[in-house]
Amino acid sequence: FINRNHFATWQGLSLLCAIAWFYHRMAKPEVQPYAVPQDREARVEAFVLKAWKPLTALLIIVAALILAHSRGGFVAALAGTVVLLWLLDQRGRKSGAKPRVLVVAALLVAGISFFLTSEVLLDRINRTDITTEERMAVFGNVNRAISDNPVLGFGYGTFADSFRLYDLNEAPVHYDRAHNTWLENTFELGLPAALALFLCLGWLAVTCWRAVRRRHRDWVFPATGAAASVLVGVHALVDFSLQLPAVAMLYAVILGVGVAQSVSSLEG
């Protein structure tokens, strides 16, 4: 990881996997030859024994994400988590009250971890002034370059060299990345090719989104793929995490599993 922002994105994707693991583990019905009535204490004990592993993972991952002190990574992870929990809640309503209890339990554990570790991150967010961010000037220069060559772009992988023609910032640091993957791809590929790339990924994300409503089993995997797409898409607005192999490969795995479980094997 080049810096903490990209680690935060990776942790955000891991957080979505931990939530999906917890939900899938707890909501999956257990097939028993016969049912034995249990009192409240027995039910609570059974819940704790079954849930402690994913909840511990959830607690540690949220703490690591917050302690990275990445504003963009936190906001992106929050967006992806909200989407995933919303999908789990909406889909879970059809199967009774237990799924909502699981969503609340995940939120409670994440909230505890956030409360214990968020002081520095909240201070950074409070001191943020978007008008003074240097990357906003970089975005303006990239947009000007795109308007000069909108069809063919400047060539894939040439941003670091080609952007020197438009880098008008007074800072001594040269930007070899746009810190916005959407703009950088458009700068390099041109509008037609960049739109084709975005539509391909968007189609896969929409496939996962639609599968949450259509699938009768294993729909939690498409839900995770859709939420992961929201997470990386949001963070790509302010950084280039998807250009790091660790983040790109983890996202590809999550999206691939989600798409694979979006269609029943009985459909041919």
Query: 266 vs 66, which has greater pLDDT?
Result: 66
Handedness of CA 85, 89, 90, 91 (dihedral sign): positive
**Mean pLDDT for the stretch of residues 44-55:** 73
At residue 126, what are phi and psi to the nearest 5 degrees?
-65, -30
Q: Which of 188-192, 212-216, 227-231, 263-267 has the lowest mean pLDDT?
A: 263-267
Please check the confidence at residue 232 and state whether its pLDDT lies above 90.
yes
Distance CA 158, CA 230 (A): 27
**pLDDT score for 3:** 83
d(CA 240, CA 230): 15
pLDDT classification of 40: cutoffs 50, 70, 90: low
Give the span between the Cα atoms of 80 and 13, in whole angstroms.
Answer: 8
**Which is nearest to 184 in space by CA: 197, 194, 192?**
194
Global confidence as pTM: 0.85
pLDDT > 70 fraction of the chain, expressed in percent and rounded: 82
Instruction: Give the Å distances, CA to CA, from 209 to 202, 215, 221, 258.
Output: 10, 11, 10, 9
How many of the other CB atoms lie within 10 Å of CB of 94? 8
User: What is the reported pLDDT for 178?
Assistant: 87
- Residue 202: the pLDDT is 95
Task: Over range 85-107, report the average pLDDT.
Answer: 71
Asked whether residue 17 carries a pLDDT value surpassing 90, the answer given is: yes
| Mean pLDDT score, 178-200 | 95
